[in-house]
Each structure stands twice: as structure tokens, then as C-alpha cells.
Amino acid sequence: GDSVTQMEGPVTLSEEAFLTINCTYTATGYPSLFWYVQYPGEGLQLLLKATKADDKGSNKGFEATYRKETTSFHLEKGSVQVSDSAVYFCAYSGGGADGLTFGKGTHLIIQP
Amino acid sequence: DSGVTQTPKHLITATGQRVTLRCSPRSGDLSVYWYQQSLDQGLQFLIQYYNGEERAKGNILERFSAQQFPDLHSELNLSSLELGDSALYFCASSARGEKYNGYTFGSGTRLTVV
């Protein structure tokens, strides 16, 4: 069935390090892809999205490119900050449907 | 403020009791989703409503039920509570069709069963 696989955490980095959080999906059709972020004690917030192949979503220094050939949507940031510490969820929605399938989340810890 | 309002923010209750969680979706959104988040199970989809009608069911226990009212707010009812029901319960809403842009989440209700 359809699913989303994320790298398991926690991922611990030092401030200003380069970040990659891997996400791959298994889905039929042409899904839209999303990254959500959950800061401590809060709900999930949409971080970025891409709706078709080769699209790049970007926000707050984070980027992710929709790679249909590898069914991936890896999240990257060139220089992380302590304030980026959060849980990051990859998700997709099937073409024409409005349901989201979430990955299990990756806990990111940035140390000063 | 995401536009999705959940009440209460915190709830502490005893085993065997029943509670009701409330969600008001973002203005204009017709779809409401309920999720349970716990440390061991992650984010679990419970149920979806669209314009008052149940649309999809996930891993929702028979002790749990939900509904969406004509004014589009939704309630999640949890009964015969067990210690394992302690979790964060999130509501999300979304638009449909061309206006669809993923989900907007509320800040959640933290339920503690003692």
C-alpha cells in the first residue's frame, strides 16, 4: 500500500551544520508532497510543499525537491540553528484526493 | 494562530471516564481530520469528516466516536478511557479541489488518563 518512509531519529547536529532528512514514498499516481514541522508543545505546521515532479519547495532556508525517478523528497538546509530543533514529518497526498499520509517523523536536535 | 481551534488544551481524567474534545476548523474548510499522537505510536489518523459526513476511517477504536456538526465544528468522543489513551489529540482541516493546500493543524488537546 501507499506509504512514506523517513529516516529515523533522533538526528543530532551542531549549529551551522548541513542538514538532510531523507524521505521516500510509495504511491500510485502523481502525489503532492509536503514537509510539516512540529515544534515542542505545538501542532504541526506546513513547512514546504511540491505538487509535481522536479518542483522545489522552499521556506525558512529549508528546501526539498520532488524527485519522481527516485520517489524521494529529501529535506535540506545549509546551516541549521538551535531554533530548528523540532520533529519533521514528510507527507504526501494522492492525486485528486485530499487525505495526507504521514511518515513517522524525524526528531531533529541542534546543539549550540 | 493557525485558524484551527481546539479545546480544551489539557484534560486530566480517570480511567473508565468519557471525554469530548472539540475542534473548530479554519474558516472555509469543509474537511476535518482527527489524529492521535503518542510517543510509541507516532501520528495515527483516526477519522475524517467532510461537510458533516464521515469520509474516511483510520485506526479509531470502537470506544471512540466523532461527528461534524452543521456549523462544521467537530467533536471527538472518547469513552471507557484507559491509561493507554493518554496522548495528544490533533484536529486538522483542509479545503478541497483547487483550494487544497494540505492540512492546517490545531495546537492539540493533551489528554492524561490517570
**pLDDT tens, residue by residue, B71-112:** 999 999 999 999 999 999 999 999 877 777 788 999 999 999
Q: What string of pLDDT tens digits covers the 112 residues of chain A?
A: 668 899 888 999 999 999 999 999 988 777 889 999 999 888 899 999 998 899 999 999 999 999 999 999 999 999 999 999 999 999 988 644 457 888 989 999 999 9
Chain A contact present for B56, CB below 8 A: yes
* Average pLDDT, rounded, for chain B: 93
What CA–CA distance (Å, rounded) separates B108 from A92? 22
For residue B46, what pLDDT band results from cuts at 50, 70 and 90? Answer: very high
Task: Say how many Å lie between the first and final Cα of chain B, rounded.
Answer: 30
Give me the residue from B48, B56, B102 closest to A34, CB to CB.
B102
| B64 and B77 Cβ atoms separated by less than 8 Å | yes
For residue A92, how many C-alpha atoms fall within 13 Å in the half-sphere facing its CB?
A: 28
Q: What's the gap in Å between the CA of A34 and the closest CA on chain B?
A: 8
User: Which pLDDT score is estimated for A98?
Assistant: 56
The predicted structure's pLDDT at residue B89: 97
Q: What is the mean predicted confidence (pLDDT) over B1-20? A: 95
Q: What mean pLDDT comes out for the span B42-58?
A: 90
The grid cell for B88 is: 495528544
Is B103 near chain A, with CB under 8 Å?
yes
Which residues in A1-112 belong to E strands, given as ranges?
3-6, 11-14, 19-21, 23-26, 32-38, 44-50, 56-59, 62-65, 75-77, 86-93, 100-102, 106-111
pLDDT confidence of residue B99: 74
Do residue A43 and residue B90 have CB atoms under 8 angstroms apart?
Answer: yes
